[in-house]
Amino acid sequence: MKASILAAAVTFCLSGAAMACPDYNAPPAASYQATGKQMYQERTFDVVAGGENYIWNCSNVRPATDTGAGYFTTGPDFSFQVSGMARYQLVISMVSECDSALLINTSTGGWYYDDDDNGNLDPRIVLTRPVDGRIDIWAGTYDGEYCNARLSMETYNR
């Protein structure tokens, strides 16, 4: 009996831990729509970067890009419904007051992570062939702290 109670408690704790990860099904803090043509002129968005979920404790998130540390919220900071992307590449970057990180989930289910590619401890991700659909973006930090940041999105011809 004690073993079954312990097993149930462990299962409950583990299922709770799995839920405390970046989740594209969680409601985003903000939602937008944009076309590739509209983003040909840079669009910026203020955000507080940071979060409580350490990315590498999350089995549901496996970026195909960098593998550095990062802490992110459960729900995305931004959800973008994009269209007209066929002729563009999309650059998503951040400038912040701390060591920030980006996490992105695309409409094809791909995860992307970056920590420092924008220089000055700020992230930058280039989607070379973005497809129309939903892009969820998390603005996190390398060390779990919180800070002010500005997200930037801009398209360029391929």
Residue of 112, 108, 106 whose CA lies nearest to 136: 106
* pLDDT value of residue 59: 87
Q: Residue 2: is its pLDDT beyond 50?
A: no
Q: Are strands 133-141 and 147-157 parallel, antiparallel or unpaired?
A: unpaired
The pLDDT confidence band at residue 135, using thresholds 50, 70 and 90, is very high
Q: Indicate the domain borders of the chain.
A: 21-157
CB-based burial label for 38 (10 Å; 0-12, 13-18, 19+): middle
* pLDDT tens-digit map of 74-132: 999 999 999 999 999 999 999 999 999 999 999 999 999 999 999 999 999 999 999 99
The architecture (CATH level 2) of 21-157 comes to Sandwich (2.60)
